[in-house]
């Protein structure tokens, strides 16, 4: 239920990459076994550049940290078996896992509307700051196929009475402020990856004849496949190619009819992709990928069951996850069953009226570390922005955004989620995750190697101030951490 989406994950649901764990979720499937006594391959060749977020700083550069010789293991320790010391994060760069695609947020109708309310110089500067590779560099971003709950009004691309041939189809609604912003972002960052999600098909395709709640009518599956194709073709013609689609946002809830939503049974979604959408994309040489589920980790069993069908798996190459119920380790169950399938974390929402809205960076960073340590290739927030009252919004929830934009004062407020994203998106450049290990309580850790060989370690300290030792091979570095803080470490 959507009510639970407003409650953040409990501590027990944060998956791997936290205290008492290693970050090699399902590493056994890769045969990765750590040998703590063996020096790890290449040694660091530069000091560590450091960026910090805490009660006094926001992604602020700190003094570089030098490496020093790592302490030897105790003399009575049998070779190859000693655990890492209690205050240590140990890195094993040779144990590599999934590629990282990137980070971002959703260009809902609401987000584009409020961004468009900024005067042009301020709008241009904000988009540069968010998306240019030299700045925040958000590179994986979501769009909505029709209206979501965060929208100024309820709309699809084919509203009205029955229209199975889609003669009315039009994306004209999006031409005013959605498509111009999406095009400008692509100009700022040509490597941006867009994926798109519908909250509901047009009402006439559903049993209740409304975009609010309800479920899909099977007799219109072929029309709905054409609806997707027309959307992709129209967006591409407008200069905004979309690289992936999810078949439905939150596929197993009708939201009590309070907002755009649609339930899909497993059988109906399977039939839609196997018999309609997949073959249509194949026939028309449509390169857009099909991602399934776009809902919570608790549905991992449904996902495995669908992917066990080779006809289904032929067309669906990725799973989209939300974390409102369940925990990220459930994604590792899917990876263990189908390691060839990509996974993405496609929505995480903050409330505009949450008293911790501007300071909850460790909450979000812990989530991002957990989903990435459980095989997700990207992490995407919900709204890019809302106004100071969480508007526009046609739904019942106080959804916020990465930013709050006051169209009257032109003020832009950055959330704790923004500062968490900054630690990931500024440093990680479509690299590859590698193994990190620690027994430190209340500390999350994520390690990634960028394409140029640069290494990145993100530490999330939800406990008291402490000092940790980072060890790579024969080298160690002493890293002080404030309470409730983030640290991004980067070195050659």
**CA–CA separation, 375 vs 332, rounded Å?**
7
Instruction: Tell me the pLDDT band of 77, cut-offs 50, 70 and 90.
Output: low
Over residues 445-465, the mean pLDDT reads 98
**CA–CA separation, 281 vs 299, rounded Å?**
26
Task: Give which of 184, 199, 202 is closest to 246, Cα–Cα.
Answer: 199
The DSSP secondary-structure symbol of 212 reads: B
**CA–CA separation, 287 vs 42, rounded Å?**
39
Task: Give which of 212, 209, 247, 207 is closest to 227, Cα–Cα.
Answer: 247
Residue 53 is predicted with a pLDDT of 98
Task: Give which of 130, 243, 250 is closest to 195, Cα–Cα.
Answer: 243
Residue 27 confidence (pLDDT) above 60 = no
Residue 18 confidence (pLDDT) above 50 = no
**CA–CA separation, 16 vs 328, rounded Å?**
8
**CA–CA separation, 245 vs 196, rounded Å?**
5
Give me the phi and psi of 165, to 5 degrees please: -90, 0
Over residues 5-15, the mean pLDDT reads 34
Instruction: Tell me the pLDDT band of 36, cut-offs 50, 70 and 90.
Output: very low
CB contact at 8 A, 88 and 467: no
The DSSP secondary-structure symbol of 348 reads: -
Residue 68 is predicted with a pLDDT of 96
CB contact at 8 A, 13 and 327: yes
Residue 8 is predicted with a pLDDT of 30
Give me the phi and psi of 54, to 5 degrees please: -155, -165
Beta bridge partners, 245, equal 196, 290
The percent of residues above 90 in pLDDT, for the chain, comes to 87
Q: What is the mean pLDDT of the chain?
A: 92
CB contact at 8 A, 436 and 23: yes
SS3 95: strand
CB contact at 8 A, 25 and 329: yes
Residue 431 confidence (pLDDT) above 80 = yes
Instruction: Tell me the pLDDT band of 80, cut-offs 50, 70 and 90.
Output: low
Task: Give which of 460, 440, 292 is closest to 370, Cα–Cα.
Answer: 460
CB contact at 8 A, 328 and 16: yes
Residue 150 is predicted with a pLDDT of 98
Residue 313 is predicted with a pLDDT of 97
- How do residues 178-232 score in pLDDT, each as one tens digit? 999 999 999 999 999 999 999 999 999 999 999 999 999 999 999 999 999 999 9
SS3 118: coil
CB contact at 8 A, 470 and 447: no
φ/ψ bin of 422: left (φ > 0), alpha (ψ from -120 to 50), beta (otherwise): alpha
Residue 361 confidence (pLDDT) above 60 = yes
**CA–CA separation, 274 vs 136, rounded Å?**
38
Whether the full predicted model's pTM is greater than 0.85, yes or no, is: yes
Instruction: Tell me the pLDDT band of 71, cut-offs 50, 70 and 90.
Output: confident
- How do residues 230-250 score in pLDDT, each as one tens digit? 999 999 999 999 999 999 999
Residue 72 is predicted with a pLDDT of 79
CA angle 95, 14, 4 (to 5 degrees): 145
443: which residues sit within 8 A by CB, 6+ positions away? 18, 19, 89, 459, 460, 461, 462, 463, 466, 468, 481
Residue 43 is predicted with a pLDDT of 87
* Burial group, residue 134, by CB count within 10 angstroms (0-12, 13-18, 19+): exposed
Residue 432 is predicted with a pLDDT of 98
The percent of residues above 70 in pLDDT, for the chain, comes to 89
Peptide bond before residue 392 is cis, with ω within 30 degrees of 0? yes
Over residues 334-355, the mean pLDDT reads 97
């Amino acid at each position: 239920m959507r009510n639970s989406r407003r409650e953040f994950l409990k501590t027990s649901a944060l998956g791997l990459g936290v205290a008492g764990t290693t970050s090699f979720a399902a590493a056994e499937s890769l045969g990765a076994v750590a040998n703590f006594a063996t020096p790890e391959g290449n040694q660091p060749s530069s000091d560590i550049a450091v960026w910090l977020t805490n009660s006094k700083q926001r992604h602020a550069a700190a003094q570089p940290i030098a490496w020093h010789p790592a302490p030897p293991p105790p003399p009575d320790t049998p070779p190859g078996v000693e655990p890492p010391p209690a205050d240590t994060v140990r890195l094993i760069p040779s144990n590599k896992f999934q590629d990282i695609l990137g980070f971002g947020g959703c260009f809902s109708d609401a987000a584009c509307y409020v961004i468009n309310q900024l005067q042009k110089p301020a709008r241009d500067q904000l988009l540069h700051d968010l998306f240019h590779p030299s700045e925040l560099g958000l590179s994986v971003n979501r769009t909505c196929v029709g209206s979501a709950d965060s929208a100024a009004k309820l709309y699809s691309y084919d509203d009205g009475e029955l229209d199975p041939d889609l003669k009315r189809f039009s994306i004209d609604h999006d031409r005013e402020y959605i498509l111009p912003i999406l095009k400008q972002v692509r100009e700022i960052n040509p490597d941006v990856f867009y994926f798109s999600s519908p909250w509901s098909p047009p009402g006439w395709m559903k049993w209740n004849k409304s975009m609010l709640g309800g479920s899909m009518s099977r007799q219109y599956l072929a029309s709905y496949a054409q609806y997707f194709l027309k959307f992709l073709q129209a967006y591409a013609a407008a200069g905004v190619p979309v690289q992936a689609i999810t078949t439905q946002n939150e596929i197993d809830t009708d939201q009590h009819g309070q907002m755009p939503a649609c339930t899909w049974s497993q059988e109906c979604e399977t039939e839609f992709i196997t018999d309609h959408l997949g073959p249509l994309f194949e026939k028309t040489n449509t390169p857009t990928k099909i991602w399934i589920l776009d809902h919570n980790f608790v549905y991992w069993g449904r996902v495995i069951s669908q992917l066990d069908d080779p006809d289904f798996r032929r067309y669906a190459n990725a799973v989209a996850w939300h974390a409102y119920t369940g925990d990220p380790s459930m994604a590792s169950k899917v990876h263990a069953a189908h390691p060839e399938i990509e996974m993405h974390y496609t929505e995480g929402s903050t409330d505009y009226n949450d008293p911790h809205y501007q300071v909850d960076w460790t909450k979000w960073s812990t989530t991002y570390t957990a989903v990435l340590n459980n095989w997700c290739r990207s992490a995407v927030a919900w709204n890019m922005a809302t106004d100071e009252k969480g508007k526009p919004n046609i739904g019942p929830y106080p959804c916020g955004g990465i930013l709050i934009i006051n169209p009257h004062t032109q003020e832009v407020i950055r959330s704790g989620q923004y500062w968490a994203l900054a630690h990931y998106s500024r440093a990680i450049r479509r690299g590859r995750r590698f193994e990190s290990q620690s027994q430190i309580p209340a500390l999350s850790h994520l390690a990634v190697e960028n394409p140029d060989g640069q290494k990145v370690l993100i530490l999330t300290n939800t406990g008291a101030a402490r000092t940790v030792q980072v060890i790579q091979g024969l080298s160690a570095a002493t890293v002080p951490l404030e309470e409730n803080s983030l640290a991004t470490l980067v070195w050659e």
